[in-house]
């Protein structure tokens, strides 16, 4: 029998507010059970006013938003696209959909995000070969914006458009601006595990409304304006449904609360772990505020006496879901043979973050009691090692 004590604690479960059902009911009452409708337009407007971008396009996923952004950047078969290596595979898959070739860029120690030092070397070798990337995808990992200024500076110098994969960082800031609005294009995800969710969905944002109109056309099967079905360009079925956009509108109203809650979860972990030898929490850069979508940390096994994998197992035994840090894309069989630029010639930061990293339950609905269970389990594992270690 599963007692309350052993109920499952998830990494990042959905957390609904009170308004979602109202918007969904509205869609039912008006029979707008369609892709498109007032909730879709409303959700796009809400994202525009929240982020301060010029325009937004609601889509069926964050992945489809990246796909459309790459096409807007003119990426096609045989082109190069620079991408952060430390990310979820969805950042890279659309590059492959277009027959283009990802070039993977390492992270730095300070932000865990794209290393501008590695990026500079990638550009230098692109210049040497005379083949520049058509676009760059920079990922804002675990809710923290990458250090955009040096990245934008390099990309502007070479005329390369920047796509910000802000799937995990809606609600974060960079130098006072909304994360996702710094590059030419930004994308958000509303997948079930993200900071706010529509169960599945995404958004493409930009300052360039003409570009968004082209993407809107592609996203609706590229139907030309004719009553018969006329098609000149290749299209997709990528629009968000009006029902799910209703969920999104309700979720957006509580986004700031969700960010506060996740940051409070992080703070409690920090208070508990900052003094444990070998534990190092993902730093927050001074240039902005992270959403702390997931609390991530590295564990140095020599100092802590336990590996990240052992902790994940110990937590799983207590019915607690924890995960390793993303396995970098340059280590994925799917991307074998792709070029990779580590932070420096002899140091790959993302490799170490993957080998030593762990993500802890971080949901905005995580209760203090449940979080105490997570912390107690970890402390017990550490104490057990100290005891054996010191009495040996």
Instruction: Assign 218 to helix, strand or coil.
Output: helix
User: Least distance (Å) from ligand PLP to the CB of residue 259?
Assistant: 16
Sequence-distant (6+) residues with CB within 8 A of 74 are 134, 135
Judged by the rule CB under 6 A, the positions of this chain that interact with ligand PLP are 61-63, 87-88, 90-91, 139, 165, 167-168, 189, 191, 202
User: Least distance (Å) from ligand PLP to the CB of residue 168?
Assistant: 5
Q: Which is nearer to ligand PLP, 39 or 189 (CB)?
A: 189
Q: Which is nearer to ligand PLP, 119 or 139 (CB)?
A: 139
User: Least distance (Å) from ligand PLP to the CB of residue 291?
Assistant: 12
Q: How far apart are CA 132 and CA 219, in angstroms?
A: 28
User: Least distance (Å) from ligand PLP to the CB of residue 152?
Assistant: 19
Which is the catalytic residue, given 194, 267, 275, 280? Answer: 194
Q: How far apart are CA 94 and CA 293, in angstroms?
A: 23
> Residue 330 phi/psi, 5° resolution?
-70, -10
Q: Which is nearer to ligand PLP, 139 or 322 (CB)?
A: 139
User: Least distance (Å) from ligand PLP to the CB of residue 166?
Assistant: 8
Q: Which is nearer to ligand PLP, 99 or 192 (CB)?
A: 192
Q: Is 383 exposed, middle or buried (0-12, 13-18, 19+ CB in 10 A)?
A: exposed
- 45: annotated active-site residue: no
Based on its alpha-carbon atoms, the radius of gyration of the chain, rounded to whole angstroms, reads 22
Q: DSSP alpha helices (H): ranges in the chain? A: 20-29, 38-51, 62-72, 93-97, 116-129, 148-157, 209-219, 242-253, 255-273, 301-304, 308-317, 349-356, 368-391
> Residue 196 phi/psi, 5° resolution?
-130, 155
User: Least distance (Å) from ligand PLP to the CB of residue 326?
Assistant: 8
For β-strands 80-84 and 101-105, DSSP reports them as: parallel
Residue nearest to ligand PLP (CB): 62
Sequence-distant (6+) residues with CB within 8 A of 7 are 319
Q: How far apart are CA 262 and CA 365, in angstroms?
A: 9
Q: Which is nearer to ligand PLP, 69 or 122 (CB)?
A: 69
Q: Which is nearer to ligand PLP, 314 or 359 (CB)?
A: 359
Report, as residue numbers or ranges, the catalytic residues: 194
């Amino acid at each position: 029998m599963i007692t309350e004590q052993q109920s499952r604690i998830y990494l990042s479960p959905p957390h609904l507010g009170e308004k979602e059902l109202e918007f969904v009911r509205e869609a039912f009452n008006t029979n707008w059970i369609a892709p498109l409708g007032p909730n879709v337009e409303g959700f796009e407007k809400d994202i525009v006013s929240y982020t301060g971008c010029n325009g937004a396009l609601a889509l069926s996923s964050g992945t489809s938003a990246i796909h459309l952004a790459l096409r807007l950047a003119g990426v096609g078969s045989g082109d190069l696209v620079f991408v952060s290596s430390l990310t979820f595979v969805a950042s890279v898959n659309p590059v492959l959909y277009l027959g283009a070739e990802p070039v993977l860029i390492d992270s730095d120690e300070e932000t865990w995000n794209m290393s501008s030092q590695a990026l500079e070397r990638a550009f230098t070798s692109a210049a040497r070969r005379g083949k520049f990337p058509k676009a760059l995808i920079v990922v804002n990992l675990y809710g923290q914006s990458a250090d955009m200024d040096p990245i934008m500076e390099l990309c502007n110098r070479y005329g390369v458009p920047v796509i910000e994969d802000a799937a995990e960082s809606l609600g974060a800031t960079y130098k006072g601006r909304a994360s996702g609005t710094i590059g030419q294009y930004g994308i958000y995800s509303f997948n079930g595990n993200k900071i706010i969710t529509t169960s599945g969905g995404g958004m493409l944002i930009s300052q360039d409304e003409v570009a968004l109109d082209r993407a809107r056309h592609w996203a609706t099967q590229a139907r030309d304006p004719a009553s018969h079905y006329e098609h000149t360009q290749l299209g997709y079925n990528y629009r968000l449904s009006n029902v799910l956009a209703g969920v999104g509108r309700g979720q957006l109203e509580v986004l700031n609360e969700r960010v506060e809650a996740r940051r409070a979860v992080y703070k409690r972990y920090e208070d508990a772990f900052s003094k444990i030898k070998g534990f190092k929490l993902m730093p927050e850069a001074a240039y902005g505020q992270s959403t702390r979508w997931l609390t991530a940390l590295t564990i140095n096994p020599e100092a802590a006496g336990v590996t990240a994998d052992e902790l994940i197992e110990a937590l799983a035994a207590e019915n607690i879901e924890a995960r390793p840090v993303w396995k970098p894309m340059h280590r994925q069989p799917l991307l074998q043979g792709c070029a990779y630029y580590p932070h420096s010639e002899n140091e790959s930061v993302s490799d170490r973050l993957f080998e030593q990293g762990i993500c802890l339950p971080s949901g905005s609905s995580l209760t203090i009691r449940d979080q105490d269970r997570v912390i107690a389990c970890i402390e017990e594992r550490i104490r057990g090692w100290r005891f054996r270690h010191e009495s040996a």
